[in-house]
Amino acid sequence: MYNINSYRKFIQKDHKPDSSGEYVIYWMQINCRLSYNFALEYAVHWANKLGKPLLIYEYLQCDYPWATQRFHKFMMEGMTEHHEILTKAECNYYGFLEDHPGTGKRVLKGLCDKACFIVSDEYPVHQIRNRNVEFAEEVNIPFHTVDSNGMIPLGVTEKAPYSAYLFRKIMQKNFIEAYLNPPLEYPLENLKNISKLQLSKILSINLLTAGVSLNQYSEIADRLTFNNNVKPVEIKGTRQSGLKRLDSFLQSDLLHYGIETNHPDKEHTSRLSPWLHFGKISEFEIVKKTLDQQPPGWDLQIIKPVNGKREGFFQGYKYVESFLDQVITWREVGFHFSHHVSNYDAYESLPDWVLQTLEKHAVDERPQYYSFDELNKAQTADPLWNAAQRELVREGRINNYLRMLWGKKVIEWTSHPRTALSYLIQLNDQYAMDGRDPNSYCGIMWIFGRFDRPWPERPIFGKVRYMSSSNTRKKVQLRQYLKKYASF
Q: Does position 369 have pLDDT exceeding 60, yes or no?
A: yes
Lowest mean pLDDT among 207-211, 344-348, 454-458: 207-211
Main-chain dihedrals φ then ψ at residue 432, nearest 5 degrees: -75, 130
Q: What SS3 class is residue 20?
A: coil
- Selection from 55, 59, 58 nearest residue 24 by Cα: 55
Percent of the chain with pLDDT strictly greater than 70: 94
Q: Which pLDDT tens digit goes with each residue over 156-167?
A: 999 999 999 999
Q: What SS3 class is residue 14?
A: coil
What is residue 120's predicted lDDT score, i.e. its pLDDT? 98
Q: How far apart are CA 446 and CA 443, in angstroms?
A: 5
User: Could you write out the DSSP letters of every residue in 111-173?
Assistant: HHTTEEEEEEE---SHHHHHHHHHHHTT-SS-EEEE--SSSS-GGG-SS---SHHHHHHHHHH
Which residues have CB under 8 Å from 74's CB, separation 6+? 232, 233, 235, 236, 237, 274, 278, 433
Question: Which whole number is the average pLDDT over 252-278?
Answer: 92
Q: Does position 395 have pLDDT exceeding 80, yes or no?
A: yes
Q: What SS3 class is residue 349?
A: helix
Which residues have CB under 8 Å from 485's CB, separation 6+? 386, 387, 388, 390, 391, 394
Lowest mean pLDDT among 11-20, 305-314, 371-380: 11-20
Q: Does position 212 have pLDDT exceeding 70, yes or no?
A: no
Q: How confident is the model at residue 149 (pLDDT cuts 50, 70, 90)?
A: very high
What is residue 69's predicted lDDT score, i.e. its pLDDT? 86
Q: Does position 259 have pLDDT exceeding 90, yes or no?
A: no
What is residue 261's predicted lDDT score, i.e. its pLDDT? 86
Q: How confident is the model at residue 220 (pLDDT cuts 50, 70, 90)?
A: low
What is residue 257's predicted lDDT score, i.e. its pLDDT? 93
Reduced 3-state DSSP string for 362-430? CCCCCCCCCCHHHHHCCCCCCHHHHHHHHHHHHHCCCCHHHHHHHHHHHHHHCCCHHHHHHHHHHHHHH
Q: How confident is the model at residue 5 (pLDDT cuts 50, 70, 90)?
A: confident
User: Could you write out the DSSP letters of every residue in 211-274?
Assistant: S--GGGHHHHHHHH-SBTTSPPPSS--SHHHHHHHHHHHHHHTGGGTTTSTT-TTT--S---HH
Longest dimension (CA), the chain: 69
Percent of the chain with pLDDT strictly greater than 90: 82
Q: Which pLDDT tens digit goes with each residue over 448-463?
A: 999 999 999 999 999 9
- Selection from 308, 415, 423, 314 nearest residue 368 by Cα: 415
Q: Which pLDDT tens digit goes with each residue over 54-83?
A: 999 999 988 888 888 899 889 999 999 999
What is residue 4's predicted lDDT score, i.e. its pLDDT? 80
User: Could you write out the DSSP letters of every residue in 292-307?
Assistant: TTSPTT--GGG----T
Strand partners, 244: none
Query: Over the chain, what is the mean pLDDT?
Result: 92
Lowest mean pLDDT among 227-236, 270-279, 420-429: 227-236
